[in-house]
Structure 1
Amino acid sequence: MRKTLIILEKKQLFMEDFSNLTLDKVTIVMTSMSRWDGEFSSASWSLAKTFAQSQKVIYVDYPFTLLDYIKERKKPSVMARKKALIKGKESLKPLTQFSPFLYTLCPPLMLPINWLPPGFLYNSLSKWNDRRLAKSIRKAIKELGEENFIFFNSFNPLYLDRLPSKLKPLAFVYQSRDNIRALEPYLRKHGAGKEIEAVKNADLSLVTSRMLQKDLESLSGKKVAYFPNAADFDLFKTAYNEQVPPPKDLKDIPRPIIGYTGNICHRLDYDLIESICKANPDKSLVMVGPRNHQGHTNIDLDLIPNLYFTGPKKIEQLPQYLAHFQLLILPFLCNEVTKSIYPLKINEYLASGKPIVATPFSEDIKSFHPLISLETTAKKFNEAIKRELDTDSDQKAKSRYVEASNNTWKGRVKLFWELLTGSKTALAKKE
């Protein structure tokens, strides 16, 4: 009885400390499955940069394992991190090019354990990795002279789904951004179960799509908040209201241009992409992003004469491309993977004011109709491309632009604090 009273007393003091803090000034430690200098933009990185406009943010690189280091040690990105990975030195670095409050943390090398079957050995080594990662986070917090922080796990359940006892944030937030149960076997092998544990252990759980919200609430038995993706509106609106010079790699590509930006991966319908190129021989299809389609299609994309690839670009470069595309597409497959996606790029596309044609792959993308065209077959998709180009107008462009202005990362940060404050208040009442 006495022990229970002590625990409740400590929780009450914790809640009073939480409520007395100015939360939007507290340091945020964010982990994810991407690195700040990765090949394509991510929601976690965009959110981190937005938080960092007013408070310290430590963006934790997705950890390299010992096996990753052996395979990739000659890559410039790995060589630049060598001291941090091997010796744990120079792990915390300021990213002043983005914000005076933004830092990146490169953790030391982790053990490669994903190949292990579920069970005692995997669990033991996973906890070892977690303690190692948590120690590097505690060291970074101390280096910045901070004491209070919020731990925000943005879709990285393979690490820190349960926090070690020495890592004591004011709040533990977990965010799911994809249906890990439908992704590649590597991630879902351990990630599917660990994500449910993260949701159960978090003070606040967030999801970016309605389907994920339903799934995770059902699987975890806990309430999960809807927290959709957004766009850096101030960046992408330049494609709408400024005269932006064309990128050099678009110079010799025939107009009009149908554009796509993002990872060229397992989510895309390559039969549809081939159909678009064949049905529109007078147009060019330009895809901006890293090519990760190997093993996901038998079509030799390089043999399609009006299909062009630019390679990956930094997010700051994307508006320059959108400004010189006449129409934008989201040619996603409609399957278990995509039905839980709120695509990061939809609000980026809308901010440019350009017409958009997509497949109806998720409940979230359907919510943008009729601002965008949604078509289920290749024939109707190509008809929509022609129709959207023929009927586009300044009024339609402005409507798209205005919609994007309602879905900004600044707005999502405001929503985050409302959700977090509400969740802690509810927790205090429950206790």
Structure 2
Amino acid sequence: MSNKKNIVCVSNTTWEGFYTKSTVQLVSLLAKSNNLLFVEYPFTIKDLIFTLMGKGRAPVARMLGLKSRLVKKNSTFNTEVNHLVLPPLLPFAFFKNEKLYQFFLNLNSFFYARSIKRALRKLNMTKPVSVNAYNAIYGNALLNKIGEKLNIYYCYDGPDVRRYGDRAIVSDHSFAENVDGVITTSDFLAESMNHLNPQTKVVKNGVDFQVFNKSAKSSLRGAVKKKVGYIGSLDHRFDLETVEYTIQQLADYEFEFVGDLMNKKIHEVLAHYPNVTFLPPVKPHEVPDLLKDCDVGLIPYLCTEYTKNIYPLKINEYLSVGVPVVLTSFAHLPEFDGVANFTTTKEAFCEAIKSEIELDTEAKIKERIEYAKGTSWESRAVDFEKIIDGFLIESNKNN
């Protein structure tokens, strides 16, 4: 790692939660040799009300200033990160009228920037590198508003059209054009953004290898009933048709789905099958022990414009424990050819599960683990910081 830098991460995710988040992992590791400020997901008044009603998880006391909005968080990598919660912002995505939409976006951005600048002053962090993590909606409005010397767009997904419609595409493209550099998590995403910003680099998702490898398989499961597992958010990406077909065909297999049930239809359709179990989401450190009891891990995403940008975090997590992986071919991920099983039909998906289990060996388990070892978050963070340093050098040349 290089000389210490001041880095502020304007995030579109929360620090805590049920699943591993690439932004949090990278920020935690960058904090080993840099001053880090992580700005929490921008919660709105609606989030605050829902939490008070018991339907949300917003940090209400800190949002309202009843507790300090700026605190220090200890990461799983034994580093310390400054963590900022914003005051509640106004919901505005629903406005159809463009003038109203822009008015409330700019109003929110004023309070957003003011909160960040106050935190930076308190921490004595000047001229920071600003890493905007998939928060392009606010990106342009915050650009050059916090005294930053460099702006980077960390883009780990396609535009969020489900929430913001075409405005998400406009914001995403405009922000990518205006920043000093873009870092994506997949080659496909990088290729789609190269024309917007020639300074586009790739740092793929990783895995907390040491944590997952502690629960790694060393031999095949001896259980008579085979277990097929899925751990992650059960949302709009889930290929329900393919999974239901597979459950019907493999009635002697046990299917276990662990995660936040965002799409209620998944439970409605699958829960009545006797070989299906749904479990609530678990903390990231609890995932490895669940995985080691599986004979195969699934990533059954729909093939859409949205999912083709994804480099799934869970693929390296499955492999770190030695579990074979069966996926739908939702994205172009050639680096996993030979180590994971990609399928294009529901029939092939079903057959792949059977063959991966029936043909699994201890040698294959070791191969998967060895592959995953090379995708650790530590190595990804080193790559990420090298790219930041390269952007800084390029920026200094142009100024």
What TM-score results when the alignment is normalised by the length of structure 2?
A: 0.91
Specify the alignment match of 1:301 in structure 2.
Answer: 270
Q: Which runs of 5+ in 2 are unaligned?
A: none
1:225, distance to aligned residue in structure 2 (A): 1.2
2:175 maps to 1:206: no
User: Which of 142, 155, 158 is the matching residue for 1:179?
Assistant: 158
1:42, distance to aligned residue in structure 2 (A): 1.9
Trace 1:381-400 onto structure 2 (pairs within 5 A). Answer: 381-400=349-368
1:119, distance to aligned residue in structure 2 (A): 3.3
1:286, distance to aligned residue in structure 2 (A): 0.9
8 Å Cα contact 1:27-1:55 kept in structure 2: yes
2:265 maps to 1:265: no
User: Which of 357, 362, 369 is the matching residue for 1:401?
Assistant: 369
1:284, distance to aligned residue in structure 2 (A): 0.8
8 Å Cα contact 2:28-2:80 kept in structure 1: no
- One-letter amino acid matched to 2:336: F
Relative to structure 1, the CA distance from residue 400 to residue 298 in structure 2 (aligned partners, 3 Å threshold; closer, same or farther) is closer
Relative to structure 1, the CA distance from residue 338 to residue 167 in structure 2 (aligned partners, 3 Å threshold; closer, same or farther) is same
User: Which of 335, 344, 357 is the matching residue for 2:304?
Assistant: 335
Q: Deviations for 1:238-280, whole angstroms, at most 9, x for unmatched residues? A: 221689xxxxxxxxx9842111111111111111111221222
User: Which of 71, 93, 97 is the matching residue for 1:93?
Assistant: 71
2:159 maps to 1:191: no
- One-letter amino acid matched to 1:90: S
Query: In 2, Cα distance between the equivalents of 1:194 and 1:71?
Result: 27
Deviates more, 1:97-106 or 1:171-180: 97-106
Specify the alignment match of 1:239 in structure 2.
Answer: 215
Q: For 1:317, what is the secondary structure of its paired residue?
A: helix
Specify the alignment match of 1:26 in structure 2.
Answer: 5
Q: Deviations for 1:129-149, whole angstroms, at most 9, x for unmatched residues? A: 122112211222222233342
1:415, distance to aligned residue in structure 2 (A): 1.0
The runs of at least 4 consecutive aligned structure 1 residues that moved more than 3 Å come to 53-56, 74-79, 97-100, 117-121, 427-431
Specify the alignment match of 2:388 in structure 1.
Answer: 420
| Rg larger for | 1
Specify the alignment match of 2:117 in structure 1.
Answer: 138
Q: Structure 1 vs Structure 2: percent identity of aligned residues? A: 26
8 Å Cα contact 1:162-1:197 kept in structure 2: no
1:318, distance to aligned residue in structure 2 (A): 0.7
Q: Deviations for 1:84-105, whole angstroms, at most 9, x for unmatched residues? A: 3224750012223644512321
2:361 maps to 1:378: no
Q: Deviations for 1:343-385, whole angstroms, at most 9, x for unmatched residues? A: 1111111111111111111112x43011111111222222211
Specify the alignment match of 2:86 in structure 1.
Answer: 107
Q: Deviations for 1:104-155, whole angstroms, at most 9, x for unmatched residues? A: 2110011211122363443233222122112211222222233342211111
8 Å Cα contact 1:161-1:195 kept in structure 2: no
Q: For 1:381, what is the secondary structure of its paired residue?
A: helix
Relative to structure 1, the CA distance from residue 76 to residue 281 in structure 2 (aligned partners, 3 Å threshold; closer, same or farther) is closer
User: Which of 160, 163, 169 is the matching residue for 2:139?
Assistant: 160
Specify the alignment match of 1:6 in structure 2.
Answer: none
1:46, distance to aligned residue in structure 2 (A): 2.0
Q: For 2:193, what is the secondary structure of its paired residue?
A: helix
Q: For 1:225, what is the secondary structure of its paired residue?
A: strand
- One-letter amino acid matched to 1:140: A
Relative to structure 1, the CA distance from residue 106 to residue 75 in structure 2 (aligned partners, 3 Å threshold; closer, same or farther) is farther
Q: For 1:332, what is the secondary structure of its paired residue?
A: coil
Q: Which runs of 5+ in 1 are unaligned?
A: 1-21, 244-252
Trace 1:284-295 onto structure 2 (pairs within 5 A). Answer: 284-294=254-264
1:164, distance to aligned residue in structure 2 (A): 5.2
Query: In 2, Cα distance between the equivalents of 1:70 and 1:76?
Result: 9
1:180, distance to aligned residue in structure 2 (A): 1.3
8 Å Cα contact 1:327-1:389 kept in structure 2: yes
Relative to structure 1, the CA distance from residue 401 to residue 135 in structure 2 (aligned partners, 3 Å threshold; closer, same or farther) is same
- One-letter amino acid matched to 1:363: H
Q: For 1:114, what is the secondary structure of its paired residue?
A: coil
Specify the alignment match of 1:4 in structure 2.
Answer: none
